[in-house]
Amino acid sequence: MCHRLLEDARLFDLKKRYDEDLAAQTKAARCPECGGRLDVANYPRKPRGGPDGHDLRLSFCCAEEGCRTRATPPSLRFLGRKVYFAAMVVLATTMQQGPTPARLLRLRDLLGVSRRTLRRWRLWWAEVFGRSSFWRAAGGRFSRPVERMQLPLSLLEAMGWKREQREALLRLLRFIAPVTTRPWLSSQPS
């Protein structure tokens, strides 16, 4: 069932539109350093785990001479500078919770992700994300506790995963969008 979401081109188009809206907000806010105009400075990506046509990370650069500060908006498609789409990191980690050898083999066959990468993603959710200042501040907003060692599954469930998977995934990606930009770039899963 999760793999169908990764094959849903409409979902990727929707996430691209969200990213475009976030980019428009970032551009309208102007340069965070000097308040100058922001020019488009998108950069190409070679993401894995999704359809073609989603290979551009939206970004801006200050037009003021001497400033040139980059302003990269949050994203629902990308987790920092890593090669896999954010949805793939979320769903693959969710699918391996309570991993069995058969489940890990299915994930590797289905998604083309190595066992080592899957393990890194699980550790990232539990150790990096689950212990982050973002999670400490935002995790308390839920009416029921979200189990850190079961992230992202426990977070998806809090977002309504059992009722509507596609909407729960979008809610989760919007929720974690702030971690897709600095200072998170060095601590993202690959």
Domain locations in the chain?
Answer: 2-183
Write down the pTM of the prediction. 0.83
HEC states along the chain? CHHHHHCCHHHHHHHHHHHHHHHHHHHHHCCCCCCCCEEECCEECCCECCCCCCCEECCEEECCCCCCCEECCCCCCECCCCCEEHHHHHHHHHHCCCCCHHHHHHHHHHHCCCHHHHHHHHHHHHHHHCCCHHHHHHHHHCCCCCCHHHCCHHHHHHCCCCCCHHHHHHHHHHHHHHHHCCCCHHHCCC
pLDDT at 144: 86
pLDDT at 99: 56
- Rounded to whole angstroms, how far apart are CA atoms 56 and 49? 14
pLDDT at 182: 65
Query: What is the β-pairing status of strands 43-44 and 38-40?
Result: unpaired
pLDDT at 187: 43
- Is the distance from CB of 68 to CB of 134 less than 8 angstroms? no
pLDDT at 98: 59
What does the pLDDT profile of the chain (190 residues) look like in tens digits? 466 777 788 888 999 999 999 999 999 999 999 999 999 999 999 888 778 888 999 999 999 999 999 999 999 999 887 788 998 889 888 877 755 677 777 777 777 888 888 889 889 998 889 988 889 888 888 888 898 889 999 999 999 998 999 999 999 999 999 998 866 534 444 4
Cα 112 from chain centroid (whole Å) = 18
pLDDT at 2: 65
